[in-house]
Amino acid sequence: MARAACRDADPELFFPITWDDRPGRADDEARSICRACPVRPACLDWAVRTGEPDGMWGGTTPAERRLLRARQTA
Ligand code: SF4
């Protein structure tokens, strides 16, 4: 957590009430923070393995993680 790029970011960027995947939306800003994060691979792996149901983790939305999990179990 100490190395997380989102450590001081606005939590609303990572946990919006609803997700809007259109370009230029808040999740783009969160993704851009995740892209520069040194712990992104570990963060994404944890979120996919635990089935984290909410928020932006490792640069992915909940729907994107569900897709990743489905591909891993196929
Ligand atoms: S990859 Fe994970 S720890 Fe890093 S900024 Fe994104 S949500 Fe935060």
- Judge contact between 15 and 54, C-beta under 8 A: yes
Q: For a substitution probing ligand 1, which of 33, 46, 50 has the most ligand atoms within 8 Å of its CB?
A: 33
- pLDDT tens, position by position, 53-70: 999 999 999 989 999 999
Q: List the residue whose alpha carbon is closest to atom 6 of ligand 1.
A: 34
Question: Above 70 in pLDDT, residue 22?
Answer: no
Domain membership of residue 34 (yes or no) is yes
What pLDDT is recorded for position 16? 86
- Confirm or reject: Cβ of 39 under 6 Å from ligand 1: yes
Domain membership of residue 3 (yes or no) is no
Distance 70 CA to ligand 1 centre (A): 22
Domain membership of residue 26 (yes or no) is yes
What pLDDT is recorded for position 1? 86
- Domain assignment of residue 34, given as a range: 11-73
Secondary structure (3-state) at 66? helix
